């Protein structure tokens, strides 16, 4: 359990951050921009969304490149491609495509599973998700209900149905690991599945809002390294690992600011980290205009103080008299990309993870 509560004005500061955020700059870099063109076709959007979220490992440039290449192999129509996919050729049909450790045969097998899902469930992936929600019962808390929905979705993508009905094909090595469930050992954060469901459920820009039977108040934050780092440092959690309990804790605190749309800040927080707008260190030149700077642990006990005779606009000055902490001068570097540690808040990281 966290030892503190969100700052009293944090919700206002996050609203201000969101209202001023340059969506037009960041959306073209996000894989969601490659899914949005399919929005008139619900099934094609679901399939493109599953592909995009499954590939959301690594930096956004490599994700977009891999997804673009995969959609080109599908002749730009993932709905029609999956409908007509030659299931007996799943091992080689997309060869030699590859993205990091995700292979062509795994994506081919995903097409087989999607075929099976659409044959079994007339309502598509939303019906699968709703089936999972129902198993949690109406009295369950939002995090538990959403976890049940994700579990059903994961099971269907793994086995072709939420209840593991017998199927003809067995998955290739490594395939099952692409679709974790919150109920698995270690209770993974399931960032990619949460991301997919966010795209499908939220009606506000930039999401698609194609699923009309799932209440947006149930959504849980897709906890990538950037969102976790910022959430930790502005007091939304004190947990030291990116697991499902951390997802629920952060979402519950965000729900205090908007009970009907608790993940509305996810895109903004993620791309604040991806773009370098959050340098993940005290950098006065970058942090000065940030709307949540006063909520950030890194700035606790420090203020911005002008330097009269230097070429640097600001320095971080300790507020407490006698504090011998040296001023932190701004760095010119703004690309904080590095691998994150799973045991502590990452200082610099890619938008990756489960």
Window from 156-165, 177-186, 306-315 with minimum mean pLDDT: 306-315
Q: What is the pLDDT of residue 345?
A: 55
- Say if CB 47 and CB 114 are below 8 A apart: yes
342: confidence class by pLDDT, cuts 50, 70, 90:
very low
Q: What is the pLDDT of residue 306?
A: 58
Q: What is the pLDDT of residue 200?
A: 98
Q: Tell whether pTM > 0.95.
A: no
Per DSSP, which regions of the chain are E strands? 98-99, 102-103, 302-306, 314-318
- Say if CB 285 and CB 330 are below 8 A apart: yes
- CA–CA distance, 58 with 127 (Å, rounded to integer): 30
- CA–CA distance, 51 with 87 (Å, rounded to integer): 17
Q: Where are the alpha helices (DSSP H) in 183-317?
A: 191-201, 225-233, 244-255, 266-274, 284-287
Name the most confidently modeled range: 7-11, 71-75, 329-333, 337-341: 71-75
Q: What is the pLDDT of residues 281-302, one digit of tens each?
A: 999 999 999 999 999 999 998 8
323: confidence class by pLDDT, cuts 50, 70, 90:
very low
- CA–CA distance, 102 with 34 (Å, rounded to integer): 19
Whether residue 67 is predicted with pLDDT greater than 70 in this model: the reply is yes
Q: Which two tokens stand for residue 272?
A: 């604040």
* Whole-number Cα distances in Å, 333 to 61, 110, 304, 336: 19, 40, 19, 8
Whether residue 44 is predicted with pLDDT greater than 60 in this model: the reply is yes
- Say if CB 255 and CB 311 are below 8 A apart: no
Q: What is the pLDDT of residues 219-254, one digit of tens each?
A: 999 999 999 999 999 999 999 999 999 999 999 999
Q: How open is the CA angle 327-336-320, to the nearest 5 degrees?
A: 20
- CA–CA distance, 189 with 229 (Å, rounded to integer): 14
Q: What is the pLDDT of residues 82-138, one digit of tens each?
A: 999 999 999 999 999 999 999 999 999 999 999 999 999 999 999 999 999 999 977
* Whole-number Cα distances in Å, 218 to 180, 194, 213, 261: 19, 11, 11, 8
Average pLDDT over residues 167-196: 95
Whether residue 347 is predicted with pLDDT greater than 50 in this model: the reply is no
DSSP letter string, 174-203: TSGGGS--TTSTT-B--HHHHHHHHHHH--
Q: List CB contacts of 48: < 8 A, sequence separation 6 or more.
A: 34, 35, 38, 71, 78
324: confidence class by pLDDT, cuts 50, 70, 90:
very low
- CA–CA distance, 61 with 65 (Å, rounded to integer): 6
């Amino acid at each position: 359990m966290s030892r503190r509560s969100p700052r009293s004005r944090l919700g206002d500061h996050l609203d201000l951050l969101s209202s001023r955020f340059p969506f037009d700059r960041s959306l073209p870099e996000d894989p969601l921009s490659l899914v949005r063109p399919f929005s008139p076709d619900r099934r094609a959007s679901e399939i493109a969304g599953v592909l995009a979220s499954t590939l959301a490992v690594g930096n956004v440039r490599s994700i977009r490149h891999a997804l673009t290449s995969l959609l080109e192999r599908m002749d730009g129509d993932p709905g029609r491609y999956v409908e007509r996919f030659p299931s007996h050729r799943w091992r080689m049909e997309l060869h030699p495509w590859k993205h990091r450790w995700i292979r062509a045969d795994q994506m081919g097998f995903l097409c087989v599973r999607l075929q099976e899902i659409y044959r079994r469930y007339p309502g598509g992936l939303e019906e699968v998700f709703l089936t999972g929600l129902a198993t949690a019962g109406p009295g369950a808390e939002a995090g538990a209900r959403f976890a049940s929905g994700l579990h059903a979705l994961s099971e269907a993508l793994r086995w072709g149905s939420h209840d593991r009905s017998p199927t003809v094909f067995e998955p290739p090595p490594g395939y099952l690991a692409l679709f974790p469930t919150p109920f698995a050992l270690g209770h993974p954060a399931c960032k990619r599945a949460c991301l997919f469901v966010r795209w499908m459920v939220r009606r506000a820009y930039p999401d698609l809002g194609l699923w009309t039977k799932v209440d947006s108040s149930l959504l849980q934050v897709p906890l990538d390294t950037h969102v976790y780092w910022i959430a930790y440092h502005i007091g939304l959690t004190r947990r030291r690992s990116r697991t499902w309990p951390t997802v629920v804790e952060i979402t519950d605190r965000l729900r205090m600011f908007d009970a009907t749309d608790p993940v509305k800040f996810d895109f903004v927080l993620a791309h604040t980290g991806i773009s370098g707008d959050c340098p993940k260190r005290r950098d006065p030149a970058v942090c000065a205009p940030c709307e949540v700077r006063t909520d950030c642990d890194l700035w606790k006990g420090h203020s911005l103080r002008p330097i009269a005779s230097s070429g640097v606009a600001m320095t971080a000055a300790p507020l407490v008299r006698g504090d011998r902490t040296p001023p932190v001068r701004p760095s010119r570097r703004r690309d904080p990309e590095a691998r994150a540690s799973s045991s502590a808040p990452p200082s610099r990281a890619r938008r990756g993870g489960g």
